[in-house]
Amino acid sequence: MKKLLASALLGLGLVGTANAYVVNTNGFDLGSSYDCTNCNVDTVLNSIEDEAGTDLTLNLINGNGIAETFTGMGATSIILEELAGYRFNTTFGWYDANSSDWGQIFSGADNKNSDAVTITFNDTTDFGFYIDPNGRSNNRMYTESSRNTHNDIQVAIFEIEELENTYILGWEDLDLYGGNGGDRDYQDMIVRVTVNVPEPSTLLLFGLGIVGLGIARRRSNA
């Protein structure tokens, strides 16, 4: 099992005047929410104020298997909103896209007032995120649509244009083609995620270190 370190942070926003998210869904199909009138993910995000001191543009980037996982040394996550009836039970976590490793980040007791949580991996990892709707792992939903029961897109992944490696995940917690059918509002759990991507200089130093070890080993053998 990949070693995982988790620590609670007191906040994620930058200091400044509160401003709104401006959402570009790029024509993505949004239905009519079961939870309330006119409250799909775009309208909900438009009403959330961010602390970056400027309006932040959210561009929908996933669909057809594109941009459904992330690569880095970990990530910091914070819940922005939960509107679903399952909100007191739904859990949120991460999984390794190339192994069976996974871990929970938020429990059902956590909500939008919870502290941010950081996960850190031992090395650069391809990973995604999941929810267990109503806390049921047998109905787990993933950022990778190919892992979902009917290959459905259960999460709208938005990239924040003005902030590097920072994303908004808006989840639909009902199977879109299951018995109840989903309403495609993608606001049942909304999480902001910042991926920890190593700086190029760090990777260069790491590579030089490996080369140095190789030279030292050859000298020792000689």
pLDDT number for residue 168: 96
CB 62 within 8 A of CB 166: no
Integer CA distances (angstroms), 112 to 38, 80, 85, 209, 219, in order: 20, 5, 15, 42, 57
pLDDT number for residue 181: 75
Integer CA distances (angstroms), 111 to 38, 96, 126, 191, 193, in order: 22, 24, 26, 10, 15
Which pair of structure tokens corresponds to residue 54? 């400027």
pLDDT number for residue 64: 65
pLDDT number for residue 20: 80
Task: State the 10-residue block means of pLDDT for the chain, 222 residues long.
Answer: 34 46 85 82 86 84 83 97 92 97 97 95 97 94 94 93 95 83 89 91 46 46 49
